[in-house]
Amino acid sequence: MPTDLDVYKPERWRDDALFRPEVRAAYAELIDMGWTVAIRLLHPEERIYTFWKYLRNAFGESF
């Protein structure tokens, strides 16, 4: 997950591999290379969840 804004309740993800500093650093490298996250371009500070767990239909349960 690139930022705390991309997940609901970021404190629940602190020990997850996707939340580790090296993962976020790799993501930042992609952004530095010129890649763009469209939702962040339009809404840079809004809490919009861009990540859902794959288990147990988590995406469907969020709506």
Mean pLDDT, residues 25-46: 92
Contact 3, 48 (CB under 8 A): no
Burial class (CB in 10 A: 0-12, 13-18, 19+), 24: middle
The predicted structure's pLDDT at residue 52: 62
pTM of the predicted model, to two decimals?
0.66
| Cα distance between residue 32 and residue 11, in whole Å | 26
Model pLDDT for residues 7-34, shown as the tens digit of each residue: 888 898 888 888 899 999 999 999 999 9
To the nearest whole number, what is the mean pLDDT of the chain? 82
Q: How confident is the model at residue 56 (pLDDT cuts 50, 70, 90)?
A: low
Checking if the pLDDT of 51 tops 80, the result is: no
